[in-house]
Structure 1
Amino acid sequence: MTEFSPESLASIGPKEFAQLVKSTPDSKIAEVMQSPSRTTILDEVFNRMPTLFRADKAGDTRTVIHWNLTDKPGGGADTYETVIEDGTCTVNKEPVREPKLALSLSSVDFLKVVSGDGNPMMMFMTGKVKAKGDLGLAANIAKLFDIPKA
């Protein structure tokens, strides 16, 4: 199996990424996400979001989502912005618009959600994911993306 690293992530597809997250212990993912590789990995994942966006499922959805990844080394959070409008999805590394939904979660839990290895509703119920704003949107985000299954 491939090592969990920015180099491996850049060279594999969504399904292989899902398998990599599923097969890597949380402790190893957490270790990597506390290293200088964190930004590279997050940028790679967020840069892929528009390619996995399902415009056919979005319909006339117009929304802004802020992803607050809370376990940033040294404190604080990394925040990315997903904008869905006019049948497209764009991502901003720096938020520029007011969100309809803000999600806060650890980077490990985020990678589990986007790889299909974590149940976002269960994570919300157990407090691993915090949502502020449009909770209906929160419940339906997964339907807007082609999330791979490991």
Structure 2
Amino acid sequence: MTDFNPESLSSIGPKEFAQLVKSTPDSQIAEVMSGDARTKILDEVFNRMPQLFRAEKAGNTSAVIHWVITGGADGGSDTYETVIENGACTVTNKPERDPKLAMTMDPVTFLKVVSGDGNPMMMFMTGKIKAKGDLGLAANVAKLFDIPKA
């Protein structure tokens, strides 16, 4: 298995990524995600979202979702914006629109969610994910993407 770093992420597919997250200890993910590689890893994950978007599941869903990933340098966070409208998904790391849903989580929780290695509902119930706004959308957001199973 490859090491958990930006270079390995750019060369593997979603299924391999899911296996990598599952096989990497949380402490190692947390360490990598608190360092210089954080932005590259987050960009890599978010840049894949449009390809993994399942338009057939979205129907006429129109939503702006903000993903707030805590645990950055100096205690900061990174916010990415996912816009779902007209059967398409776009992503930016410069949020411009008011979100219908904002979800806040640490980087380990985020990577577990997007790799299919964690149950988002359980993570919400236990406080690992904080959601503001449309909780119905929060409950269904995972269904809008082809999340690999490790």
Instruction: Give the alignment's TM-score, normalised by structure 1.
Output: 0.99
Q: CA deviation at 1:73?
A: 1.5
Q: Which residue of 1 aligns with 2:88?
A: 88
What corresponds to 1:112 in structure 2? 112
The reply on whether 1:79 has 2:79 as its aligned counterpart is yes
In the TM superposition, 1:94-133 aligns within 5 A as 94-133=94-133
Measure, in 2, the Cα distance between the counterparts of 1:34 and 1:70: 10
Tell me, in whole angstroms, the C-alpha distance in 1 between the residues paired with 2:8 and 2:35. Answer: 15
Q: Percent identity?
A: 76
Task: Give the 5 Å matches for 1:11-90.
Answer: 11-90=11-90
For the residues of structure 1 that align with 2:64 and 2:103, how far apart are their CA atoms?
A: 11
How many residue pairs get aligned? The number is 150
Aligned to 2:127, the other structure's residue is in SS state coil
For 2:86 and 2:78, locate their aligned partners in 1 and report how far apart those are by CA, in whole Å: 26
Return the offset for 1:75. Answer: 1.4
Runs of at least 4 residues off by over 3 Å: none
Q: Structure 1 regions of 5+ residues with no counterpart? A: none
* Partner Cα distance (2:74, 2:138) in 1: 28
Counterpart residue identity of residue 33, structure 2: M
* Displacement after TM superposition at 1:134 (Å): 0.1
Aligned-partner Cα distance in 2 for 1:71–1:132 = 19
What are the superposed Cα offsets for residues 62-100 of structure 1, whole Å, 9 maximum, x if unpaired? 000000001111112100000000000000111000000
User: Partners of 2:4 and 2:111 in 1: how far apart?
Assistant: 12
Shift of residue 138, structure 1, vs aligned partner: 0.1
**Which position in structure 1 is the counterpart of 2:136?**
136
Separation in 1 of the partners of 2:50 and 2:83?
Answer: 10
CA displacement, residues 117-142 of structure 1 (integer Å, 9 cap, x when unaligned): 01110000000000000000000001
Q: Distance in 2 between matches of 1:70 and 1:29?
A: 13
Superposed displacement of residue 53, structure 1: 0.0
Gaps of 5+ in 2: none
